[in-house]
Amino acid sequence: METIAILGGTGKEGMGLGTRWARAGRRILIGSRDAAKAQDAATKALSDAPGASVDGATNEDAARAADLVVLTIPYAGMEAILSAVRAACAGKIVVDTTVPLRQFAPPVLDAMPAGSAGATAQRLLPDARVVAAFHTVSSAKLHKFGEPVEGDVLVCGDDADAKAKVSELAGLIGMRGIDAGGIDAAAALEQLAAVIIGMNQRYKKKSIGVQFTGI
């Protein structure tokens, strides 16, 4: 069975994605700096995914045991966390979901030497196939486990096979993956996510999502 590690997976986004993929039959390893905290999160995820396979581990152990690694970590923690899992991620698909905000309301992105969190992840993990995706997926919607999320997920990265694989993961939660270009397009995807966060604040909504027409 395919094993997906979700590093920093105890937060809302990681728990939403992990629980959804567990319900779809994938083996999930929730990673955290703190293995006990990760195990607590796994127990909670299992309550929403009865009979599924969900375990907790340190980020390092989770990355090592996984076929595919998902990052739901803050941009500020990226360098330390990815340095520690670099060898474990070699050759693997690594999905970066980071929306690198230095301020939440109104949303302001971090200044990033690599131009985006996605490109930063690829630089820090040169031997991994980094794909950036899921930036605009509402965690409120993710947590309504009885309903498909719907809408589109823009997927970018420099490896076409890796992007196709990540589009399949989007399909597992009811969403359509769309190839948005190389990893440098992550800048546009992260900025779009920040715009949507601002729209949620301005219009007092919780789960604005994006959809493309004519494709």
Residues 138, 189, 118: CA angle, nearest 5 degrees: 105
- How far is the C-alpha of 157 from the C-alpha of 178, rounded, in Å? 12
For 73-175, strand residue ranges (E) read 93-96, 101-103, 108-109, 129-132, 152-157
> Which phi and psi angles does 18 have, rounded to 5°?
-60, -45
Q: Judged by CB under 8 A, does residue 191 bind its own copies?
A: yes
Any idea which residue has 């970590």 for tokens?
73
If one asks whether residue 203 binds its own copies (CB under 8 A), the answer comes out as yes
Is the CB of 8 or the CB of 157 nearer to its own copies?
157
139 binds its own copies (CB under 8 A): no
Per CB under 8 A, the list member of 124, 154, 166, 175 interacting with its own copies is: 154
Return the residues of window 103-122 that contact its own copies according to CB under 8 A. 106
Q: Which stretch binds its own copies (CB under 8 A): 57-65, 84-92, 125-133, 150-158?
A: 150-158
- Joined together, the tokens standing for residue 46 give 């299992």
Residues making contact with its own copies (CB under 8 A) = 106, 138, 141, 150-151, 154, 178-181, 185, 187-189, 191-192, 194-196, 198-199, 202-203, 205-215
